[in-house]
Amino acid sequence: MNEVSLLQSLGQVSASETGQVFRDFLRGHVREMICEVMAAEVTELCGPKHAPSGSTHYRAGTSPGRVLCEGEREKVVRPRVRCKSDDGTSQEVDLASYRVAKDPEQLRSQIVQAIVSGVSTRGVEAIKPDSPGVKRSNVSRLWQEAGSKFIEQLRGKDLASTSWCALMLDGIQLSSEQTAVVALGIDSEGRKHVLDFALGSSENLEVSRELVGRIVDRGFSCEHRLYAVLDGSDALRAAVKEFFADAIVQRCLVHKERNIKGKLSKRHWGELSRLFTRLRNVQGIAAAEEVFGELRAFLQPINEEAFRSLHEAGDDLLALHRLEVPNTLHRSLLSTNAIENSFLNNRRKLGRVTRFRADTDQASRWLSYALLEAEKGFRRISGHGSLTHLIAALHHREPVTE
């Protein structure tokens, strides 16, 4: 189909059929281009058709062939070339242009993209019925191979060459039976990096220790005290303290507010949010303790359980304020929102997985993909220009009291 016949065809079809006409037209042109490239390679090897050179290569006719175009098979006439050997025999030459044109890597990438976009293994076969290798078993095996590469890519990062400033740990509920604990690091310039994750039935000490131990083995360390933001799990705190005994641990204020809110009547939510917002905004320990006192005075007479929950965090709730750093850092370093926000755009894809099987690496494959995708959109933390103040405070170690 040439340009004239294309325009004629477009004038004769409905709007819904226009896209298919264009695709057929483009596939035809791609097929012609492939044939021209193969012919050019044959001429380069054998010389012009009517003026043969003294090359050891010679034309050996044609045969039917197939190439991949937009993930679908297209029939072509494949030229054949043979090469003479010194002993008088000859063997067929593998044309590079034909080898590339039938390379299934293009199709493989399209299948992987379809899967991570939410298409089931059965669905891939339905939308690409004319493509090779799209049977459900083949697609499933391909996704296992691609998913394993995501895991290797995430856990193969060199952590020793980066100057680290802070660590965030938070648990993500994948299903009723599986929880993922995710580690995110912040370097001295304010850039966020997904470090690793560990899977378990809950945020228990064994899972937490496995995660922190693995990133330490890969080179995660600090020249000063580590600043760690945790979601409130005692197991996470114990794991951090096991590997970084002098770490400054900050409890996530968002998690704590959410936890207290769940114990209060809705009529008290507005005042609670106002006080926590003030706590996140004030600078320095003196102002923070003043707001903390107002929180205590607000909660004690209305709900004893909420009052105990506020005190349960202890000194960890005001750890960053105690360092006397600029409040420009509070938005990023008083909560583990950097981890939770990483999943906002990927929950739609993870949500299509109806069951995470604990006896396979299925959850690890999907989680690695989601974290790597989220990392592509990472920016430096808010207030990164003030990180020098935090690093200076972390270098200053409190005197040990006897």
The DSSP bridge partners found for residue 199 are 180
Measured distance between the N- and C-terminal CA atoms of the chain, rounded to whole angstroms: 90
Average pLDDT of the chain?
79
pLDDT tens sequence for the chain (402 residues)? 444 454 454 455 454 555 555 556 556 666 777 787 788 888 888 888 877 667 888 888 999 887 766 556 778 888 999 998 888 888 998 888 777 776 655 545 554 555 455 544 454 444 454 444 444 444 455 556 666 778 888 889 999 999 999 999 998 877 777 888 999 999 999 999 999 999 888 888 899 999 999 999 999 999 899 999 998 888 999 999 999 999 999 999 999 999 999 999 999 999 999 999 999 999 999 999 999 999 999 999 999 999 999 988 888 999 999 999 999 999 999 999 888 777 665 555 555 555 555 656 777 877 888 788 888 888 899 999 999 999 999 987 654 443
pTM of the model: 0.66
Distance CA 162, CA 82 (A): 54
Angle at 326 between CA 325 and CA 328, to 5 degrees: 130
Structure tokens at 318: 């005001």
Pairing of strands 179-187, 192-200: antiparallel
Q: What is the DSSP letter of 316?
A: G
- Percentage of residues of the chain with pLDDT beyond 70: 72
Render pLDDT for 242-272 as a digit per residue (tens, 0 to 9).
999 999 999 999 999 999 999 999 999 999 9
d(CA 203, CA 255): 15
The helix (run of H) or strand (run of E) holding residue 51 is none
CA distances from 242 to 212, 224, 283, 331 (A): 9, 16, 30, 28
pLDDT at residue 135, rounded to an integer: 45
pLDDT (tens digit per residue) in 123-157: 444 445 444 444 444 445 555 666 677 888 888 99
Q: For residues 136 and 387, what is the distance between their CA atoms, to the nearest angstrom? A: 50
Which residues, in sequence order, are CB contacts of 51 under 8 Å at separation 6+? Answer: none
What is the pLDDT at residue 45?
86
pLDDT of residue 88: 80
Burial-class residue 267 by CB neighbours within 10 Å (0-12, 13-18, 19+).
Answer: exposed
E strand map for 72-118: 72-84, 90-92
* pLDDT of the residue at 349: 54
Residue pair 261/295 in contact (Cβ under 8 Å)? The answer is no
**CA–CA distances in Å: residue 114 to residues 180, 225, 358:** 25, 44, 24
**Contact at 8 Å (CB) between 329 and 387?**
yes
Side-chain-side CA neighbours of 251 within 13 Å: the count stands at 21
Q: Give the phi and the psi of residue 89 in degrees, each rounded to 5.
A: -85, 170
Q: Give the SS3 label for residue 171.
A: strand
Summarised one tens digit per residue, pLDDT across range 203-232 is: 888 999 999 999 999 999 998 999 999 988
- 102: nearest Cα among 144, 64, 128, 141: 64
Give residue 24's pLDDT.
61
> What is the gyration radius of the CA atoms in the chain, in angstroms?
31
Buried b (16+ CB within 10 A) or exposed e, 353-385: eeebeeeeebbbbbbbbbbeebeeeeeebebbe
| β-strand partners of 78 | 63
